[in-house]
Amino acid sequence: MDVRRLAMVLLALDLGCSTASDAQPGDAGPSGPLSTCPVGASTAFSTPIVRPTMPWRFAPENADAGTSGQVYVTYDGQATISITSTGPAVKLPGCGTLTWNTERWTNAVAAPAVADGDTVWASFYFNQQVICPYCGTRYDRSLTISTAKDGQILWTGSEGASAGEMPETLQMQLFGVTATATPWCQVSGGGGCYSATRRVFEHVLATDPPTLVQHATLTSLSVPGGNYQVLWAYSRETVTRDPNCMDGGEIASDSGYAVSRILP
């Protein structure tokens, strides 16, 4: 844990330091000027460049689905687990299969704690759209795997061009506490027809003592809700569009998360 950074965050929380102009409920203000974000995913602005958090590959049951670049899938129901050479596969009846694959990943959370033949409850959303013939695609997707409908969550994640903050209800369900988002760094840039200023956040869970979750950093947590591995990224963008520009990808958000429950 970065003790100095946590101390700065707690100072901002305890003393009510000034917040940013785009602050929202639950945000804590910085204890000084924000640094410039390091070069990496946080400084990439154009879709389809997004923060990867979900090492799942989706194969639709209909082999022709998605060949045009357009994909829209929703599923909420029972699913069957099989174990492959790369990890678990989740069979969504009538929909397709999600297969775990961490090839080329360096910071993936653990795969869900499941066994071959298990029946679980899966909620999956995948929406991929073609921006224009020359601009590529944008997508958003999310997945939650639970022991049963309304059962214990084993794995959950969200990623995509418009992925937002982890909902507080989900934070409470997983961790037994909620988190405060605190500004970490800021960067300006753009892509296509857009320019933007991005503010990047890290999180402090309201445990005793508080627990810092650094932006987009694989973190192991032991909290009232259990033991987890977490990858959590969140940003907000102030976007300006060039009125004379007609094409180009939208501004992506450096947001997304993945949470895996670590069983005893």
Q: What tokens does 55 get?
A: 């090492």
Domains contained in the chain, number = 1
Look at residue 248 in the predicted model and tell me its pLDDT.
61
One-letter amino acid at 7 equals A
Look at residue 242 in the predicted model and tell me its pLDDT.
85
Which regions in the chain score pLDDT beneath 50? Answer: 1-23, 25-26, 30
Look at residue 16 in the predicted model and tell me its pLDDT.
29
How many Å apart are CA 48 and CA 252, to the nearest integer? 7
How many residues does the structure list for the chain? 264
One-letter amino acid at 137 equals T
Classify residue 27 by its DSSP letter: B
Q: How far is CA 28 from the centre of its chain?
A: 20
CB 204 within 8 A of CB 28: yes
pTM of this structure: 0.84
Domain extent at residue 181 = 3-261
Look at residue 6 in the predicted model and tell me its pLDDT.
41
How many Å apart are CA 80 and CA 83, to the nearest integer? 10
